[in-house]
């Protein structure tokens, strides 16, 4: 295997380019800004981006954000979210907020998330794939004449069909009013609904207010039963098999209590590390 060696200062240059690309996105038209142009771009765009960020999610009828849209998330038009208009000097008053595609010649007038079936586009009721339909309003099929518009019965992991979901574009204030996470204000382009690493998981797997939510304290403190994961059952059995391990089991029970200053993810990470060390 050939090993890549960067010249002195090469790693810093790569980091600077990654930062540039995350801030500028597609706005440079494929030609890098000069340092002066870059500074002028940041002076103009960053305050607007920090104040008027729009959060984009694919929401089930139950209110769960089954998908939080990020820069690379594809639209129905097959272009990515970062290729749509995402920066506004003034947030539009009309609802829903339309985020048209900025790729030349694309008829897409508003960002619309469509899930994938594994790595493949989902099918319409006309049996043709989503990318075989027009991105223009109406979404008629280009492969047949009997389709009146894209309509898929594909079932999301939340149990609801795709057609029952909505692509939601909302402001920070609208999201806070619903008790959903907004993360921190960032200067990067087209962040959409991403607020942290857990945003990449599907809604029912996220332990935050945009997904199924964190387990209750009663659930976390309940004893291990035959219905639990084999790992938990094995760990409980080993902690009571001898006097030596009995002490370990007692300390483990104390350690399993969440500390007042710990959030959910810090608590889960600490318990994981303790169990890993206990098996060494």
Domain membership flag for residue 235: no
Domain membership flag for residue 268: no
Domain membership flag for residue 209: no
Residue 16 has which token pair?
């600077």
Cβ neighbours around 94 below 10 Å, total: 6
24 and 70 assigned to the same domain? yes
103 and 130 assigned to the same domain? no
Query: pTM for the full model?
Result: 0.74
Residue 41 has which token pair?
């771009």
Domain membership flag for residue 264: no
29 and 108 assigned to the same domain? yes
pLDDT of 172 reads: 94
Question: Which of the listed residues 92, 126, 153 is the one where a domain comes to its end?
Answer: 153
Is residue 222 helix, strand or coil? coil
128 and 169 assigned to the same domain? no
Q: What's the rounded Cα separation, in Å, for the pair 238 and 249?
A: 8
111 and 124 assigned to the same domain? no
pLDDT of 250 reads: 45
pLDDT of 108 reads: 96
Domain membership flag for residue 218: no
Question: Which of the listed residues 169, 201, 233 is the one where a domain comes to its end?
Answer: 201
Q: Which domain holds residue 132?
A: 118-153
pLDDT of 258 reads: 62
Domain membership flag for residue 89: yes
Domain membership flag for residue 106: yes
pLDDT of 263 reads: 75
190 and 110 assigned to the same domain? yes
Count how many domains the chain has: 2
Tens of pLDDT, residue by residue over 107-155, are 999 999 999 998 899 999 999 999 999 999 999 999 999 999 999 999 9
Domain membership flag for residue 107: yes
141 and 165 assigned to the same domain? no
137 and 61 assigned to the same domain? no
Which residues, given as ranges, of the chain have pLDDT below 70? 1, 229-258, 260, 278-280
84 and 107 assigned to the same domain? yes
Tens of pLDDT, residue by residue over 237-257, are 555 555 444 444 445 555 666
pLDDT of 256 reads: 60
pLDDT of 276 reads: 74
pLDDT of 247 reads: 45
């Amino acid at each position: 295997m050939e090993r890549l060696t960067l010249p002195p200062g090469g790693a810093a240059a790569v980091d600077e380019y990654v930062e540039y690309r995350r801030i500028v996105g597609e706005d440079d038209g494929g030609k890098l800004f000069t340092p002066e142009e870059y500074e002028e771009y940041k002076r103009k765009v960053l305050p607007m981006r920090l104040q008027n960020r729009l959060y984009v999610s694919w929401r089930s009828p139950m209110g769960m954000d089954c998908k939080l849209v990020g820069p690379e998330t594809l639209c129905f038009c097959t272009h990515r979210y970062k290729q749509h208009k995402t920066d506004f000097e003034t947030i539009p008053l009309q609802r829903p907020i339309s985020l048209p595609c900025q790729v030349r010649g694309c008829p897409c007038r508003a960002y619309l998330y469509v899930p994938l079936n594994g790595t493949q586009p989902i099918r319409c009721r006309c049996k043709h794939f989503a990318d075989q339909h027009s991105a223009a309003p109406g979404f008629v099929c280009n492969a047949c004449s009997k389709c009146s518009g894209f309509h898929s019965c594909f079932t999301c992991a939340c149990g609801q069909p795709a057609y029952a979901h909505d692509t939601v574009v909302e402001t920070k204030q609208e999201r806070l009013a619903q008790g959903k996470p907004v993360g921190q204000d960032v200067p990067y382009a087209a962040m959409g609904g991403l607020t942290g690493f857990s945003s990449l998981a599907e809604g029912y797997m996220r332990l935050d207010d945009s997904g199924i939510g964190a387990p209750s304290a009663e659930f976390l403190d309940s004893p291990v039963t035959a219905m639990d994961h084999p790992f938990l059952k094995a760990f409980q059995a080993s902690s009571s098999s001898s006097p030596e391990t009995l002490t370990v089991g007692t300390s483990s029970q104390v350690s399993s209590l969440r500390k007042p200053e710990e959030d959910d993810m810090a608590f889960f990470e600490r318990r994981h590390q303790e169990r890993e060390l206990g098996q060494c």
